[in-house]
Chain A
Amino acid sequence: MEEHDSRLEARPGADGPSDSGRIRRPDHRDDTRVERLSAYLDGWVTDRERSEVEREMAGDAAAREALHDLRLVRTALSNLETVRAPRSFALTAPPARRPFALFRRLEWATRGAAGLTALAFAFALVNGPQVSETITTAMPAAPVALQSAPAPVEAGPTSASTAKARETATQTLDIAPGGAVPGTAGSTNDTRAGAVATAAAPAGTPSTAATATSPAAPVPTVAPAAAPATTFAAPTPASAPASTPVASPAPGTSAPPAPAPAPRTLQASPPTATPIVPAASADSTPVSTVQATRVTSEAGAAAPVSTPTPAAVVPTTPAPSTTASAVTGGSQDAAMPAPGTLTPVSASENAKTASVAPALGVLALLLVLLAIIERAGARAARA
């Protein structure tokens, strides 16, 4: 009450209406003081701050005046009309609770799963470096497979692999029965070409019909949807680059005869050329067609390649077969490795790792898409 009275006396406009509009706009210093006084008014200050405010008010009439004004404002506001609801807002029927909560939970679960899958995908990529290499090197190899194949050849992207894969393939071939492995049965010139062995396994059924194992085997499975029938070919040593795939004679003609053509081929392969990987493990490609192709020099030179890219070859590849077949072309013999004659070694493990990566990537994308859909559903439920 005392503050009120003193405030009335000190109010600039108390003596006349003409002064009522001359209130000085508060500056930053005033803002700070008003803020402190406002908090003091609400009791929202520490003991130290309260002491400071009280000390300030004791010696500053303006501080007392400001505090009084703030009290007036607060009282006036608290005395504003009580707003009465125009009607009852009671709910007549219980709104559904579940959809929103369900969508929210699903959304978070999906987000978590997508994140984990993405991590697993990255892990698989890091631990499966053969994938990219195989993809890049498989391109130029395809023509060779085509060269070796007869007109309706079931040729596909020739798989290539890392040095480790090559060694693995070589070892695999070495341990294979001589007559079953392309090249091992080859004689002096090893001029068999286009011994295309198509070994496909039904989905989910790892095939034992693979004649050789290569880490490159999983490569075609990177895009299972795009190439349902994955073809692995064992090209001649010096497969022509993709830029010059046509009529590229198989340099295998210069390759010395060797009991094990695979290592020989590897040695003869230029760095940029696709090395021969005689075969691929079908167990890493549940739905795939594995071809082991050997190209003779004659056939390689004679058979022009009309389709230089594996992509163009893919459509010609029949649907994944559940049988193993041998397609010979040119002068190649039908020396198709007998299914199961070779035992996959370490390459199969790599192949599995590499084949998991794309699946994880696709799964992560699907989960992200699902999360987006669930988000939209949650918003719709909320609305």
Chain B
Amino acid sequence: MTDPANAASGGPATVRGATSDPAVDALVTRARAGDMTAFNTLVLRFQDGVYGLTLRMLGDPAAAEDATQDAFIRAWQRLETYRGGSFRAWLFTIAANRARDELRRHSRRPTRSLDEARDDPDHADIDPPDSAPTAHEVLEQSELRQALEAALRALPDDWREVVVLADVQGLDYVEVAAVTGVAVGTVKSRLSRARGRLREVIRNSPELFEAAGRLTDRR
């Protein structure tokens, strides 16, 4: 698991998802040449992730929509700056910057839970994880999600951004560092602190703890 070369320098053992996807790169190449269809293919492929990131960072579906649209517009305008690697991480960088700008502009804190957004018929945009849980499990998983979402919203912005990118979106440390513009060590520290805070939330409730345990067992 550990790369000796990286281990010697204290670097990461592995880099998940840092390699570029040839299909994505081909679309990027065509988009750079002005092929809007190719770019829109990329948009449809990554828009859920981008929107999910901005929604969790901003906590406001309308603001997340605007940020997502702006992110794709900027991505089109700056395709020349994409130098390979993970295109998704590159997109996330633009989207996170846009969301951060929005947070700074309005000193906005996420105020709306994703469950509220899911209940909103205008924003029925959250798919529950597909599994076959029992009714009891559905209930407790829902409670767990609500508790985690609430805990995420209570995190400091920079912690929340890191933990969403790493644990929700599945980016590795290097990609998170690239997206957030901080050092890998800072990513490591913020991620551990965010996880530590969320751990307190889970441990404060036996029900949540058991629900999380069952979830882990299922996986």
Contacts and interface: CB of A to CB of B under 8 A. Distances in A.
B204 interface: yes
B215 A79 contact: yes
B28 interface: no
Contacts of A45: 2, 13
Contact of A77 (B14, B61, B118, B168): B168
B51 A75 contact: no
Interface residues of B, number: 78
Nearest to B10: A46
Contact of A86 (B1, B77, B125, B193): B125
B104 interface: no
Interface in A196-253: none
A34 interface: yes
B135 to A, nearest CB: 18
Interface string B42-54: 0110011011100
Interface stretch (A11-19, A276-284, A350-358): A11-19
Interface stretch (A36-44, A111-119, A125-133, A300-308): A36-44
Contacts of B72: 89, 91
Interface in B155-192: 163, 166-168, 170, 172-173, 188-189, 191-192
B17 to A, nearest CB: 13
B40 A90 contact: yes
B150 interface: no
A21 B123 CA distance: 35
B139 interface: no
Contact of B128 (A38, A81, A100): A81
A47 B170 contact: no
Interface in A70-129: 70-91, 93-97, 100-101
A49 B8 CA distance: 11
A152 interface: no
B126 A81 contact: yes
Interface stretch (B18-26, B82-90, B194-202): B194-202
A69 interface: yes
A58 interface: no
Contact of A89 (B43, B126, B144): B43
B196 A87 contact: no
A8 interface: yes
A84 B212 contact: no
B217 A95 contact: no
B73 A95 contact: yes
B31 to A, nearest CB: 10
Nearest to B53: A83
Contacts of A34: 192-193, 195-196, 199
A87 to B, nearest CB: 7
Given A43-B2, A72-B209, A88 B47 contact: yes
Residue among A47, A50, A77, A101 with most chain B CB within 10 A: A77
A4 interface: yes
A382 to B, nearest CB: 8
Contact of B199 (A47, A73, A75): A73
A26 interface: yes
A172 B102 CA distance: 71
A82 B36 contact: no
B209 A77 contact: no
B217 A82 contact: no
B168 A75 contact: no
Contacts of B55: 83
A231 to B, nearest CB: 56
B93 interface: no
A50 to B, nearest CB: 6
A38 B10 CA distance: 15
A144 B182 CA distance: 69
Nearest to B144: A76
A78 B196 CA distance: 16
Residue among B36, B44, B80, B209 with most chain A CB within 10 A: B209
Given A42-B172, A76-B198, A86-B125, 8 more contacts: A20-B204, A21-B204, A76-B148, A78-B168, A80-B148, A81-B114, A82-B129, A84-B126
Interface of A: 1, 4, 7-8, 11, 13-14, 17, 20-21, 23, 25-26, 30-31, 34-35, 37-39, 42-48, 50, 66, 69-91, 93-97, 100-101
Interface of B: 1-2, 4, 6-8, 10-14, 34, 36, 39-40, 43-44, 47-48, 50-52, 55-56, 61, 65, 68-69, 72-73, 76-77, 79-80, 114, 118, 122-129, 141, 144-145, 148-149, 163, 166-168, 170, 172-173, 188-189, 191-193, 195-196, 198-200, 202-206, 209, 212-213, 215-217, 219
23 contacts: A7-B213, A8-B213, A11-B203, A13-B203, A13-B209, A20-B205, A35-B188, A43-B12, A46-B7, A47-B7, A69-B203, A70-B196, A72-B199, A72-B212, A73-B212, A76-B202, A76-B216, A85-B50, A85-B68, A86-B123, A89-B72, A90-B44, A95-B76
